[in-house]
Amino acid sequence: KIEPFYKGGKVQVSLLLCYIFCTCGSRVNVLEISTGKIVHSVEHDDQEDITSFALSCDDELLVTASRALLLKQWDWRQAECTRSWRAIHTVPVASMTFDSTSTLLATGGCDGTIKLWDVVKQYCTHNLKGSSGVVHLVQFHPDISRLQLFSSSLDCGIRMWDLRSSQCVCVLQSHYSTVTSLSFSSDGGTMVSSGRDKICTVWNLKGRKAERTVPVYEAVESVVVLPQNKTFFEIGVTSKDLHFITAGSKGVLRVWEASTARCVYTQTLTAVSEEEEEEKDDDPRSLMYLLHMPASSRLATVTAEHNILLYQLPGLTTQQQFVGYNDEVLDVKFVGKDDSHIVVATNSCQLKVFELLTNSCQILYGHTDTVLSLDVFKKGFLFASCAKDRSVRVWQMDSDSGQVHCVAQGSSHTNAVGTISCSRLKVSFVVSGSQDCTVKVWDLPADLSTTEADIHQLTPRATEKAHDKDVNSVAVSPNDKLLASGSQDRTAKLWSLAGEGNVGLLGVFRGHRRGVWAVCFSPVDQVLATSSADGTTKLWSLQDFSCLKTFEGHDASVLKVVFVSRGTQLLTSGSDGLVKLWTIKTNECVKTLDAHQDKVWGLHGSRKDDKMVTGSADSNIAVWLDVTDVELAEEQAKQEDQILKQQELSNLLHEKKYLKALGLAISLDQPHTVLTVIKGNFHPRGQKLHQSLLRYCVVWNTNARNCQDAQAVLQVLLTHVPPEELLQYQGARAHLEGLIPYTERHMQRIGRLLQASMFLNYMWQKMRVAGAPSR
């Protein structure tokens, strides 16, 4: 499963291990670089969004800050919170960092203060005041013997703090916009700052003054000083002078020589159109972070589209790319040798090609608007795409390296191109269908080998006004002689491709009550399958255009249909998030996969018929093995899971961890075990459980979303535990006092809601149909 793991915010790379830490709402996810998989994830109990986090320099400690003003320290390998404390800040923490010894933690708040914490002795050591507005940047000097901290806030100055005296010793003024990052030379005597005012400043820290201002002509989000004890000839570094790399709004890495303020190297990206070359405020290629991994001589960049790219120094060669967030998945297909990759069209003008073994991703640039549909030629190394930019493109994957580049493009439609289909017998043509109600046949050149700068230009061999409304789907028959099209006008049509000239209409399939979303030819029979927004899938005879079978089972639109099991079964996907497997002979649904939480737009079976891939509007992509045996595999997994849970329950009862045991016993549906746990705990020996529940209720009750659950648990406690006993619990009085104000607030809110509903009811009772006699 490929699911979102990064939705914006801070990213940090472990220095000693091969992990990437990134925020995703209320979680911090830990991505293993070698496999591309999320191996750990930590989340605050209150499910509040995490505003900042920091990983210690020895990779041992992870500290997170949430909107609830709580700091939590984690054993991130076990996803276990080892300590939590109040941040003291009056508003959320905006930035945080560890010193090089991993003992001091600095937190910068939206309240303009900076707190320093000794994470070993567990107390606040400094409270630094004087910043104006949000402290969005805090960073220790790498030489801890200096005991210096640098910070920046809304006034665009860089404050230098002496931690011995807790005083701001100077404010370095140079930038006129937000200071985004700081980087230090290896000797610690020089610092480079970057800003969104399109300059970088080189600072002499001994003299506390700016040595040089370097105009970089882009809003810079991150800067990294290159080590001076290594050679970087490949990226233009020819002297021992200080050099630094910038990342910003132009989306390219650039190397600058500090002494001359000269750009000595600019990274080359995939060729883009002139329209894309113009700098935009919301350019998806713009870089938000640049991270240095000195232990492995690598750099990591994070783009505005939440993609993470790893580069190897000294040549800045791309090693891996990870996609943090896919947005809505519109189509997905298997490509490559033995279906080793998938190509994905998301709600974006870029295509993404994932290697299934590592989850590493190539990002393909070319289209200038959202890509809507994909199809693959028989051997799997060539595929086609179409988009809202009214164009079609053909892409080729190198069979050895797996690299993909565009080899042909055509643009002749007058509206968005919503569907595309490739020839089946050999690589000879593609067919496209558009919202301009036409289908076009594009012949491909015999030799598609080309360079990135010289792409074949396609012209349509035939154009036909096929339907009265949008063409939603086209499909080419296995012998390349027939074409099927499905439209929003509720019909599907069969066309002849045998002639050299125009496409010839052979017949019309009528019967769907709403628009036709997908059409597909059987690989073995003279049959066409169609799926529709009326919730049905139909099989049609190609001989007399009659409906042979109708499959009903989806609660909403059926978006895709494909033949599997050598044409004996159908797979359908719908707006209800379900994927269904149908046996054609018996007309029965034999499997239902609760695959996704939203519309399943992408559905594709592998060439060997042993895998299936689905993509959904819920941003998730799932690859399924042995689709016809899914239920058996799920049953075996459930049995194994039951055995493991039984053993875990036994261990929890033995260790007297009754609270966890109670939840597990309920999930296993074991009434007798649940009764045993309850009898063992609503007893003097269960005092610890009651104290924990009371403390949890106080936390839950602070949030309107959880208040009903808190009150329900509280009612059970007050019913079963005498008040005298409850008051004897440690901290009980403080907990009860904490419950009262929030409970009163919830009651007031419910009262207002009840009053409004009574007024609505009164209005309803007094209303009458216009023109009806009053009585």
Task: Render pLDDT for 631-678 as a digit per residue (tens, 0 to 9).
Answer: 443 454 466 567 778 778 888 877 877 778 877 877 777 777 766 776
Condensed to tens digits (0 to 9), the pLDDT of residues 296-317 reads: 888 999 998 888 998 988 888 8
pLDDT at res. 629:
46
C-alpha 318/C-alpha 314 separation (Å) is 11
Beta pairing class for 456-458 and 404-411 = parallel
C-alpha 673/C-alpha 690 separation (Å) is 19
Q: In the chain, where are the structural domains located?
A: 11-239, 329-625, 631-761
C-alpha 281/C-alpha 236 separation (Å) is 29
pLDDT at res. 175:
92
How many other CB atoms sit within 10 Å of the CB of residue 47?
14
Which residue's structure tokens are 């529940």? 693
Q: pLDDT-based confidence at 681, cuts 50/70/90?
A: low
C-alpha 727/C-alpha 712 separation (Å) is 19
Region 612-619 average pLDDT = 90
What is the homologous superfamily of the domain 329-625 according to CATH? YVTN repeat-like/Quinoprotein amine dehydrogenase (2.130.10.10)
Look up residue 185 and give its amino acid. S
| pTM greater than the 0.75 cutoff | no
Q: pLDDT-based confidence at 387, cuts 50/70/90?
A: very high
| CA distances (Å), origin 665, targets 344, 648, 675 | 41, 10, 9
pLDDT at res. 684:
47
Q: Computed from CA positions of residues 459, 464, 465, 471, in that sequence, does the dihedral angle turn out positive or negative? A: negative
C-alpha 537/C-alpha 573 separation (Å) is 10
Sequence-ordered list of residues with C-beta below 8 angstroms from that of 78, at least 6 positions apart, any chain: none
CATH of 11-239, one of 1.25.40.10, 2.130.10.10, 3.40.309.10, 3.40.50.360: 2.130.10.10
C-alpha 200/C-alpha 186 separation (Å) is 18
C-alpha 318/C-alpha 348 separation (Å) is 22
3-state SS, one letter per residue, for 686-735: HHHHHHHHHHHHHHHCCCCCCHHHHHHHHHHHHHHCCHHHHHHCCCHHHH
Strands (DSSP E) found in 631-686: none
Condensed to tens digits (0 to 9), the pLDDT of residues 450-483 reads: 666 678 999 999 999 999 999 999 999 998 999 9
Fold equal for 11-239 and 329-625: yes
Sequence-ordered list of residues with C-beta below 8 angstroms from that of 756, at least 6 positions apart, any chain: none
pLDDT at res. 313:
85
Condensed to tens digits (0 to 9), the pLDDT of residues 2-37 reads: 888 888 889 999 876 688 999 988 889 999 888 888
Q: Residue 247: beta bridge partners?
A: 222
pLDDT at res. 500:
67
Q: Average model confidence (pLDDT) for the chain?
A: 87
Which residue's structure tokens are 């619990």? 729
Region 82-97 average pLDDT = 90
pLDDT at res. 662:
78
> Is residue 552 over pLDDT 90?
yes
